[in-house]
Amino acid sequence: MEGGRATPKLLEIPFQPKDGVFDLNMQATEYIWHNGKFVPWANAQVHVLTHTLHYGGGTFEGIRVYKTDRGPAIFRLDDHIERLFYSADALQMKCPYTQSDISKAIVELVRKNRLEAGYVRPLVYYGYGKMGVAPVGAPVEVALACWPWGAYLPPGGVDIKTSKYIRIHPQSSVADAKIVGHYVNGILAGFEIHGTKYHEALLLDYKGNIAEGPGENFFIVKNGMISTPPLGTILKGITRKTIMELAPLLGFKVEEKDLTLGEAYGADEAFFTGTAAEVTPIRSIDDQPIGGGAAVGPITAKLRDAFDAIVHGRDPAHDHLLTYVNLASPKAGNG
């Protein structure tokens, strides 16, 4: 029992693709942290005239929790919360909590929900009280939720298609901030492939070079060199950063450069990275097989295996990237 409530059952990531499509439906946990308080999942509500609901001026993160031999581990929690606050600053949102407050609340949220593996969603948004595009005077509110979540994309390889929509222009917004409204861009690209044979879209930038997927960063491998689009029009992905740090340790060179579709079509390997996507091999782009159509290239496989070892607590050299949660105790912290 906890606070007069029955202790919820341990939750673990489900992995049940249906007809090749992965089920991303919500699975409720017991608590959501809302404006400093833990409230029952069903009671975490906002007014329909909440400012961000109308204008998209909010910021969020997606954070993975992994099952390890030492209990649940939150991957790169500090990096995610640092980016959350960077994005909030881009919208002139003064969060009423510190980065430390949010990090501690997330650890406690995972513990209270007894989540062994899954996903954490922090959201900072302008609340109810002001209408009109400018949010000046609207309260800044914070919500934290977590739930079980499995594979976002088929791990054996995806077929992707270039979208007619381009990634948002860097002079139209703060392109590397994780802003709620930015994701309409990805929603439109996703609508294009819905119901087709393609698993995901690919967006170009305003120069016609490859930018990223709707929720993923993009990499290719050619002659042993790993390449990824530079910052400027893309999200500064945390999984992207991890792969770029990890590659040299495995003996691979990695570079940031503009990538054309022609270069991608001719790549030996290609893959997406992201908190949801993790490391997902790309099998084809616009019906062009990558690397002869092999499901997973050898360098992609090595990177994915190394990443998997890190997030599941099997790589002591990278243990500092994990925040372990003790489900039996209210005290938890870095391992």
Q: What fold does the segment set 158-311 form as a domain?
A: D-amino Acid Aminotransferase; Chain A, domain 2 (3.20.10)
Reply yes or no on domain 31-150 having CATH 3.30.470.10.
yes
The first and second tokens of residue 247, run together, are 């590659």
CA distance linking residue 249 with residue 213, whole number of Å: 26
pLDDT less than 50: residues of the chain: 1-22, 331-335
Q: What is the DSSP letter of 7?
A: P
| Rounded (10°) angle between helices 77-90 and 238-249 | 140
Task: Say how many C-beta atoms besides its own lie within 10 A of residue 132's C-beta.
Answer: 11
Give me the helices (H) in the chain, please.
51-55, 77-90, 99-112, 183-193, 238-249, 261-265, 298-311
Q: Tell me the whole-structure pTM to 2 decimals.
A: 0.90
Q: Which residues contact 276 (CB under 8 A, 6 or more apart)?
A: 62, 64, 119, 149, 152, 153, 215, 216
- Quote helix, strand, coil % in the chain, to nearest 5: 25, 30, 45
Going 227 to 228 to 229 to 232, the CA torsion angle's sign is negative
Q: Which residues pair with 298 in a beta bridge?
A: none
- Nearest CA-CA partner of 263 in 313, 304, 204, 307: 204
- β pairing state of 140-147 and 333-334: unpaired
Active site residue 18: no
Which of 37, 104, 178, 241 is labelled catalytic? Answer: 178
Q: Which residue has the tokens 């084809």?
A: 284
Reduced to 3 states (helix: H, G, I; strand: E, B; else coil), residue 121 is: strand
The CA–CA distances, whole Å, from 271 to 1, 53, 168, 284, 285 equal 45, 33, 22, 10, 11
User: What is the predicted pLDDT for the residue at 150?
Assistant: 83
Taking the C-alpha atoms of residue 221 and residue 207, their distance in angstroms, rounded to an integer, is 22
Taking the CA atoms of residue 241, residue 181, residue 86 and residue 80 in that order, the dihedral angle to the nearest 10 degrees is -50
pLDDT of residue 3: 42
The residue with tokens 């959201």 is 123
Please report, for the chain, the start and end positions of each structural domain, with discontinuous segments joined by +. Answer: 31-150, 158-311
Contacts of 209 (CB under 8 A, 6+ apart): 229, 258, 259, 260
In DSSP terms, 159 is beta-bridged to: 284
CA-to-CA distance for 295 and 157, rounded, in angstroms? Answer: 5
CB-based contact 50:126 (threshold 8 Å): yes
